[in-house]
Amino acid sequence: MAYPITVLYFICFGLTIIIFHPIQWFCKNVFGYQAHKMSVDLLQFFIMRSLNVLGTTFSFTNPYQIEKGKPLIIVANHQSMYDIPPLIWYLRKHHVKFISKKELGRGIPSVSYNLRHGGSVLIDRKDPIGSIKAIENFAKRISQNNWAAVIFPEGTRSRDGNPKPFKTKGLLAMINHTPDALIVPITINNSWKTLRYGKFPMGLGSKITFSVHKPMSINQHEDKLELIRLVEAQVKSSIV
């Protein structure tokens, strides 16, 4: 059953990103940032509805009242590309932006346009010095605009749900250049199951969960490496 259902999903997903590409362009160039953001938020909603075709469900548990109008650094484990739409949708009031590899900045309707023009940052993994500089500038924009930056410190997705060690350089650069931010640890489970067989067919019936942990204030921790260790432990404590 996964084969025909995956085909149906790809049709829904493909139509969604193709339709929203000109919508994004129109919103950004005619009405500006807020309209563009709304179009991006709606794009994530419909991507999630496309995933429902596969029997995929989403559960987002956030027991904390995270203050609006404050910069956030959202730190999460990474299991698949489908981690991203729910993070943008459920945390949309915080203006979620991403650190992404530059290859994703071209060739994908809607997705690439948003990464280039929506406030995220694209980095070249082959240029670590340039990447850190780009992340530092990104962190300053996050702080100035009170946005939320998502970073996946593992560097690449886990293909079986088992977490990889956190790489500290990018996260440390974010922390050092957004000293007034809150770090929000989030644990993601079961997203990897959507790609358990590869890209075709896709896995059916994945129950993807997002668990928000207690935010941590950067300016209350003098030892930034110890802060990163605490965040990593909290994120990984709920991975099943």
- The pLDDT tens digits along the chain (240 residues) read 999 999 999 999 999 999 999 999 999 999 999 999 999 999 999 999 999 999 999 999 999 989 888 999 999 999 999 999 999 999 999 999 999 989 999 999 999 999 999 999 999 988 989 999 999 999 999 999 999 999 999 988 888 889 899 988 999 999 999 999 999 999 999 999 999 998 899 999 999 999 999 999 999 998 999 999 999 999 999 998
CA pair distance 7, 4, nearest whole angstrom = 5
Residue 103 lies in a domain: yes
Could you list the residue range(s) of the whole structural domain that residue 92 is in? 57-237
CB 30 within 8 A of CB 57: no
pLDDT computed for residue 23 by the predictor: 98
Residue 89: closest CA among 146, 124, 51: 51
Residues 6 or more apart whose Cβ sits within 8 Å of residue 232 = 75, 153, 166
pLDDT computed for residue 157 by the predictor: 83
pTM: 0.93
Residue 226 lies in a domain: yes
Phi-psi region of 25 (alpha: psi -120 to 50; beta: other; left: phi over 0): alpha
pLDDT computed for residue 35 by the predictor: 98
Residue 175 lies in a domain: yes
Residue 109 lies in a domain: yes
CA pair distance 151, 20, nearest whole angstrom = 25
Note the helical H segments in 27-65. 33-52
Residue 44 lies in a domain: no
Residue 139 lies in a domain: yes
**Three-state secondary-structure class, residue 212:** strand
CA pair distance 117, 105, nearest whole angstrom = 10
pLDDT computed for residue 133 by the predictor: 94
Cis omega (within 30 of 0) for bond into 215: no
pLDDT computed for residue 3 by the predictor: 96
Residues 6 or more apart whose Cβ sits within 8 Å of residue 206 = 54, 55, 56, 57, 190, 191, 193, 194
Residue 192 lies in a domain: yes
pLDDT computed for residue 67 by the predictor: 82
H/E stretch holding 7 reads helix 2-26
Residue 239: closest CA among 190, 183, 203: 190
Report how far apart the first and last C-alpha atoms of the chain are (Å, whole number).
27
Residue 131 lies in a domain: yes
- Give the total number of structural domains in the chain: 1
pLDDT computed for residue 235 by the predictor: 96
Label residues 7-37 b or e (16+ Cβ within 10 Å = b): eebeebbeebbeebbebbeebbeeeeeebbb
